[in-house]
Structure 1
Amino acid sequence: MKKTTVILLLVVTAIFSLTTGAFAASKLTVIKAYLNGEVKFLKDGVNWRPTDDKGNEVLPITYNDKTYLPLGVIANTFNIPVGYDITTKTIQLGEKAENTTLYGKQIKTEHSANTFFDIIDKKQLIFGGTQYNGAFAVGSSAGEIYNMTINFGQKYTKLHLYLVGKVNSKAKVYNLNKQQLSEEITLIAGEVTEVDVDLQGSEGVVIYPYTGDYSTADYPLTYVLKDSYLK
C-alpha cells in the first residue's frame, strides 16, 4: 500500500451537529475521497483503533494520498479540549486564552443533597475581607454521600476551585465517570480554600463535601464560589 501521511481532518460534523441549511450556506468544496479500512494504527507502540464517543470504530479517509481522521477522534484520544463557536465558525483546541468562570450560562448543576442554593446575595459572600458575587451552596453529609455535579458544557484541562466550608470540613472532586480527580481537601470554617484540579479533559466534576463527624445530624453548607475558573 502506498505510504500515506496521517493528518487531522477538520471535519466540523465529526464533533458538532449542523443542519443541511448550514452546509448550504457554508464555504464547503465537494471532493472525492475513500473510507480506508486497510490502514492500521499504533499508539505508543500498541495497536489502536480510532473510535467515536460511543466506542464505534471510525475509518480514516484517504484523499490525494493523505490519510485523515476526524478531529474529534484525535482530541478524545489525547485528552485535548475542543470546542466550537457556531457564531464565528471557530474551532477551539486546547486551553482558552481567557479563563471561563462558573458564572457562565452554559454551566449546569445537579445535586443529591438535602440542601442546595444558588446564592446571589453578596452580603453572604464576604470571606477573608474579599467580596464574591455568586456561589453554589450544597449541604454536607458526614461521609461521602451528598454531592453536587457541575457540567461545564465542554471539555477543559484544569479547574481552579474556590471552596468555603461553614464549619471545618472536607471535600473530594471526581469526574463525571466517578473517577477521583483530587486528594481530600481540608476546609477551615469561613476561609476560602483554593485548589487546582487536573480535569484530564472532563466536561464536568462531582464534588462531595463532608464533615467526617457522624455524631451529629447537621448538614452544614459548603460554598463553591462561582469565581472558580476553568482552563
Structure 2
Amino acid sequence: MKKTIVSIVGISMIFSAAAGVYAGANLQEIKAYLNNDIKVKVNGNVVQLLDAQGNVVTPITYDGSTYLPARAIASSLNVAVDYDAESNSVLFGEKVEGIPVNADQTFYQAIKDPDLTKYKSKDYGEVIKDTKSSGSNFTLEPNGKYQKLYLQVAAIGSDVELKIQDKDSKLLKQDTVTVNDGLKTIEVNIAGLGDVTVIYSYKSDGKSGIFVPLTTSYYK
C-alpha cells in the first residue's frame, strides 16, 4: 500500500479547528504576522491557499519561521486531512484503522432486513442490494477526511460494471465485478473529495443484481 509523505523544510504548519477544540489545551500566546508576501507552489505552479469553506487563508510568520495552514496545504497536495479531537492530533493521508462507510452517513436506500443482508450465509447488517433494475447509482460522503475508499461489491447472477466518479463526473475508477469474484474489494483514491458517486449496471434478466455491504466497505 502506498503511503503519502509530505516533506516540509524550514516551514511549519498550523491546522484551523473550531474554537471549542482549544478548551483546556496547552496554549501559549505569541505575537505573529500575517505574511501576504509568501507564495506557495506545487510542482512549479502557484496555488491559492483556501480553508474548508473556500476562503483565502494567509501564511503566518513568527520568530523567523513561516507557518502554513495544514488543511490548505493538504488540499493543494491532494492529501486527506482530518482532526482527531480525542487525541488532539492532525491526521494526514490514510487512517490507521478503517472507518465503515455507514459510520457517519445515512443511506436511505440501504437494506437492513436480515433476510436480505446475507451473502454466502454471512449477514452484513446493512447493505445496498439492487436486483430490480438494470443499473443505478448511490453516493458516498467522505467529506474530504479520507485518502482511500475500499468498496466491497459482489455480483449476483451476472457481471456488474462499475464506475466511480467525483462530483464533476471525473472518472476515479472503472472496474468489472464477476460472479466468480465473490465479494471483491475495489480501492479508490478519494483524497480531498467531499462526495463520490458509484454507478453500476448489470444484465436485465430478473436474476441479476449487485450487493454492497456498508459495514465492511470502509474509508482510510
State the TM bucket, normalised to the shorter chain.
0.7 to 0.9
* CA positional deviation for 1:134: 2.9
Could you say what the CA RMSD is over the residues aligned between the two structures, in angstroms? 3.0
Q: Which has the larger Rg?
A: 1
Match of 2:4 in 1: none
Deviations 1:187-229 (A, max 9, x none): 439942332222234344211122265xx7x696522112112
Structure 1 stretch displaced more, 128-137 or 162-171? 128-137
Q: Aligned residue for 1:127?
A: 119
Q: TM-score, normalised by structure 1?
A: 0.75
Offset, 1:118 = 2.6
- Match among 200, 208, 211 for residue 209 of structure 1: 200
Of 175, 190, 212, which residue of structure 2 is paired with 1:224? 212
Q: Percent identity?
A: 25
Distance 2:121 2:102 in 1: 21
In structure 2, what is the equivalent of residue 76 of structure 1?
Answer: 75
Unaligned runs of 5+ in 1: 111-115
Quick one: which amino acid aligns to residue 160 of structure 1? Y
1:136 to 128, 145, 148: 128
Q: 1:155 aligns with which of 127, 141, 145?
A: 145
What does the per-residue CA deviation read over 1:21-41, in whole Å, with 9 as the maximum and x for residues that have no partner?
x54533221111111112233
Residue 73 of structure 2: SS of its match in structure 1? helix
How do residues 66-215 of structure 1 correspond to structure 2 at under 5 angstroms?
A: 66-104=65-103, 106-109=104-107, 116-121=109-114, 123-128=115-120, 130-138=122-130, 141-142=133-134, 146-168=136-158, 169-188=160-179, 191-211=182-202, 213=204
How far apart in 2 are the matches of 1:205 and 1:175?
A: 5
Query: TM-score, structure 2 length as denominator?
Result: 0.78
Report matched runs for 1:39-58 at 5 Å. 39-58=38-57
- Structure 1 distance, partners of 2:62, 2:212, is 49
